[in-house]
Every structure is written in structure tokens, then in C-alpha cells.
């Protein structure tokens, strides 16, 4: 796009001071004639760009004029390159965008920004696992969000029934390797798991996106609602201090320390969506944990124990 080239040309002139049309053509991968027309367009538009004829000539900004197109502070520049730099290698467009932004930064910020881009390596693959590839549905829906196109979906609900819908895509969320689509529908805001979408196709209709939409705030509200639904059952559990950090790591906000127990153990409150779910989470710890209440969770633990004895009891002989 020409607007992108004009910005890139201006940034290149800021960085190098004086450039030739041939240098711009090589950098931006366009013809020399196109580069020359872009330079003339900048001059005509009132940008203080002028040519210097003769040997060693070229184009430069009048009086060393500069335009800080980024508006970033030093801290903001470092934070941006720390976050984006490690993940940009797999996306050529992102790496190209970072290079252009780097040229726009004041010289005093540029060195730290370059160092920040290479300061962190992100390895998305867990031990013993291969790297996750971005699902094609994510790429398709990202484009629909950016271009504000409505999308026709075939979606399988929790009951397993597939339905066809047309939605207004608002944004995508990657939560612990599970992707979600936030979208507007005739019934209001909805959240769709991408692994339940069997087909997605943008259609030639403009999507409606609320003008005051705050996507992070909307997602925070969705998370809070989901967590409340997942915490309808609670259990009082006694554990040793050694086990407490493990429970906290695995259960997060669903593990609350309520005080010390008389025998030196720690009393915690665990929550989940059903008594069976709590029992399944604790069964692997055997007698190192003790459920004080409710009886519904204790019965589920007893049932799990009986199932295991029936299946594996003969292995002790």
C-alpha cells in the first residue's frame, strides 16, 4: 500500500539522513521510478523533503527535520520490544513492522529497544511436546475481526449438537492453549471455543462491533462468570504444609487457606463445579489429605476408592 511506503520512506530518511531513490527502492523492494514518485509525493504534500542534485546527492529532510511517528517513551519502547520481539520471528510481517518502528524511535531509545528484542526467547512447547501450531481457524477469525466481516459458524455445543450461526466477531483469546472467540449474536454476547467450531467462513456483511468495546474487560467478565459456575461446590480439606504449595499451584483461585488445624496441618477450602470433581482432584493424594466436609465429597472419594480396589485389588497378591 502506498501510504505504508510513504511512512517507511520517511522513517528511512530519518535514520540515514540522506538517501537516494535507488537505496529506497532496494530497501522497500519497489522500482526506482516508484521510489522517486513517492519522494516527490512527500515533497508535494508539504513534508520538508528536497533533492540534492549532482555527485553524492540524494534526498533528505530540510534542516535535519525529524518526525517521531511512534510517540513512545523509553520504557514503553523497551516493554513493546520485550513482548513482541521474541514472538515476531515466526511472523514475517511482525518482524518487518518492528524494523519500521525501530527506525522511528529516537536514537537514544534505539539501542535498548534492539537489545530488548533479543533479550527473551519464548519456547511454547512443554517438555516432551512439540510446538503448537496456530490453528487455521484462528488466522481466519483474526482476519475477520480486523476486516470487520461477519462470520458463518457451524458450532457444536456442550450437548454435542451442531448448529449454524452468523456472528459478529469481536476478538480472540488464547487461554492456556485453548482459543475462544468473543462475538456478538442476536441473543447478545457469546463466547465460542474454537475447538468446537467445525466450519467458519467470513461473509460479505459488515460486522457490528460496539464503539466502546473493551475486549480485556469483557474477557475478565467472562472469566469471572465461568469461575463462579465452576465453584458451586466447596469442601473443607486438611493438608500438610508441604502439600499446600502444590494444591495452590493446581487449583489457583479455587484453593483458599482458611487457617491452621489443631494437629499442625493447614485447613483449606477447595471449590469445583461438582462433588465428584473435587474428589477426583484429591483421590491421587491418598491419605495425605483429609476431607472434613461435606459428606457428598467424602462419599465420592469412597466410591472412587472402591472402584480402584475392585479393578486393582488383585494386584497385591
pLDDT, tens only, 31-74: 888 888 888 877 776 677 777 776 667 887 765 555 555 555 66
87 inside domain: yes
CA angle 166, 167, 171 (to 5 degrees): 150
Residue 222 falls within a domain, yes or no? no
Residues 51 and 111 in one domain: no
C-alpha angle 286-299-314 in degrees, rounded to nearest 5: 55
Do 92 and 153 share a structural domain? no
pLDDT, residue 252, reads 85
* pLDDT score recorded for residue 313: 80
Does 149 lie in the same domain as 198? yes
Could you tell me if 140 and 189 lie in one domain?
A: yes
Strand partners, 293: 236
Per the structure, the count of domains in the chain is 4
* Radius of gyration over every alpha carbon of the chain, rounded to an integer in angstroms: 29
Quote the domain boundaries for residue 17. 2-64
* Residue 140 covered by a domain: yes
CATH code: domain of residue 291: 3.30.70
Percent with pLDDT over 90 in the chain: 33
- Same domain for 208 and 158? yes
Which pLDDT belongs to residue 192?
Answer: 95
**d(C-alpha 181, C-alpha 168), whole Å:** 10
3-class DSSP string for 206-245 = ECCCCCCCCHHHHHHHHHHHHHHHCCCEEEEEEECCCCHH
Tell which residue, 150, 232, 225, 152, has the closest CA to residue 191. 225
Give helix 74-88 / helix 107-117 axis angle, nearest 10°: 30
Amino acid at each position: 500500500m502506498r501510504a505504508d511506503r510513504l511512512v517507511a520512506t520517511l522513517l528511512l530518511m530519518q535514520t540515514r539522513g540522506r538517501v537516494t531513490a535507488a537505496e529506497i527502492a532496494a530497501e522497500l523492494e519497489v522500482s526506482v521510478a516508484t521510489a522517486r514518485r513517492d519522494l516527490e509525493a512527500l515533497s508535494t504534500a508539504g513534508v520538508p523533503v528536497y533533492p540534492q542534485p549532482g555527485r553524492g546527492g540524494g534526498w533528505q529532510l530540510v534542516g535535519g527535520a525529524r518526525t517521531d511517528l511512534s510517540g513512545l517513551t523509553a520504557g514503553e519502547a523497551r516493554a513493546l520490544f520485550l513482548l513482541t520481539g521474541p514472538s515476531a520471528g515466526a511472523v514475517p510481517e511482525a518482524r518487518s513492522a518492528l524494523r519500521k518502528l525501530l527506525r522511528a524511535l529516537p536514537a537514544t531509545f534505539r539501542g535498548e529497544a534492539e537489545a530488548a528484542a533479543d533479550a527473551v526467547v519464548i519456547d511454547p512447547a512443554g517438555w516432551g511436546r512439540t510446538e503448537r501450531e496456530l490453528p487455521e481457524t484462528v488466522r481466519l477469525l483474526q482476519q475477520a475481526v480486523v476486516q470487520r466481516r461477519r462470520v458463518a459458524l457451524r458450532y457444536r455445543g456442550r450437548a454435542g449438537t451442531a448448529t449454524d450461526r452468523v456472528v459478529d466477531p469481536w476478538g480472540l483469546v488464547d487461554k492456556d492453549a485453548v482459543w475462544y472467540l468473543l462475538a456478538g449474536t442476536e441473543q447478545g454476547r457469546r463466547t465460542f471455543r474454537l475447538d468446537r467450531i467445525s466450519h467458519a467462513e467470513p461473509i460479505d456483511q459488515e460486522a457490528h462491533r460496539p464503539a466502546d468495546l473493551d475486549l480485556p474487560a469483557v474477557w475478565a467478565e467472562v472469566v469471572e462468570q465461568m469461575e463462579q459456575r465452576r465453584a458451586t461446590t466447596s469442601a473443607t480439606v486438611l493438608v500438610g504444609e508441604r502439600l499446600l504449595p502444590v494444591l495452590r499451584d493446581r487449583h489457583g483461585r479455587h484453593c483458599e487457606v482458611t487457617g491452621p488445624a489443631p494437629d499442625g496441618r493447614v485447613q483449606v477450602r477447595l471449590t469445583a463445579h461438582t462433588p465428584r470433581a473435587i474428589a477426583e482432584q484429591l483421590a491421587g493424594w491418598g491419605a495425605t489429605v483429609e476431607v472434613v466436609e461435606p459428606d457428598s465429597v467424602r462419599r465420592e472419594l469412597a466410591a472412587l476408592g472402591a472402584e480402584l480396589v475392585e479393578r486393582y485389588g488383585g494386584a497385591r497378591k
